[in-house]
Amino acid sequence: MRLMPPRCLFCGQAGDLGRIDLCSDCLEALPPLVEAGDRPRFGTTGETMELENWGIELESALVPFLYAPPTDAALRALKFHGDLAPAQVFGALLAGAAACRGEVPDLLVPVPLHADRLHERGFNQAARIARAAGLWLGRPCAPQLLSRRRSTPPQTSLAAAARRANLHGAFELAGAPCGGGRPRLPSHVALVDDVLTTGATMAAAVEALQVAEGLRRVSCWAVARPASGFLTPEPCSPGDP
């Protein structure tokens, strides 16, 4: 703390929230996804039904922030420029939001990138966020547990139904025991992504986890969600959300 005092990610002033690069003024100014007293916006368009159909207890997604300034720019800096500070800050905030809901999983699993995209980018932004959240919660993170079977077209260009079709069977769960059988997972797993749009990616990841034995509960966490449920494609951002 003395050698590297916290400095706010957004305003550059000294941090006043302990070991997190954020100040209380900027924290208060971050656009929340859910206004006090509102019902969560996630699930108002039918995607929650889709997610619940997987047959395991799926909590309504934990998404603390609206994908709007300055959260959107910080997440883009992480995703496209490898700026790690947003991963640390948003990981800590996700962990705090989860702890407030009493939702502390046994294991955190980031939504994976396809190997080609991981190679191109050099890192998975969701894994960076998940690792930071796991450190705050004292829970392990398993970035290799899920993998993408195939490269999918950028999700930003597809409508909700097309996204679900595009992603069905897209993920694979690692860790099947030698000699076959189903992999085992702890009882409660949290899937972590940077941005949640229609929920199709999360649904496909839940589908892959469901193969495992022992799993009873999946929490879906993301840092932010666009108000419309969709990201506007950007010319400089060829990745999916």
Cβ-based neighbour number of residue 139 at 10 Å:
19
Q: How far is the CB of 8 from Zn ion (least distance, A)?
A: 3
User: Other C-beta atoms within 10 Å of 156: how many?
Assistant: 17
- By CB under 5 A, the residues from 6 to 25 that bind Zn ion are 8, 10-11, 23
Taking the complex as a whole, the smallest distance from the CB of residue 29 to Zn ion amounts, in Å, to: 8
Burial of 176 (0-12, 13-18, 19+ CB in 10 A): middle
Q: How far is the CB of 17 from Zn ion (least distance, A)?
A: 10
Nearest C-alpha neighbor of 191 from the set 210, 166, 169, 214: 210
Residue 16 or 116 with smaller CB distance to Zn ion: 16
Q: Write down the least CB distance from residue 221 to Zn ion, Å.
A: 24
Q: Supply the minimum distance, in Å, between the C-beta of residue 223 and Zn ion.
A: 17
Nearer to Zn ion, 92 or 107 (CB): 92
Question: Judged by CB, which is closer to Zn ion: 26, or 51?
Answer: 26
Site mask, Zn ion, residues 116-155, x = CB under 5 A? ----------------------------------------
Coil/strand/helix, residue 62: strand
What span, in angstroms and rounded, lies between the C-alpha atoms of 79 and 74?
9
Using the structure block, give the residue that is written with the tokens 């302990």. 18
Question: Would you count residue 203 as binding Zn ion (CB under 5 A)?
Answer: no
| Residues 77, 12 contacting (CB under 8 angstroms) | no
Q: How far is the CB of 214 from Zn ion (least distance, A)?
A: 42
Q: Please identify, using beta-carbon distances, which residue of 14 and 227 lies nearer to Zn ion.
A: 14
| Max intra-chain CA distance, the chain | 56
Kindly state the number of chain residues that form the binding site for Zn ion, as judged by CB under 5 A.
5
23: tokens are: 């100040």
**Cα 94 from Cα 98, distance rounded (Å):** 6
Q: Kindly state whether residue 26 participates in binding Zn ion, applying the rule CB under 5 A.
A: yes
Which residues contact Zn ion by CB under 5 A? 8, 10-11, 23, 26
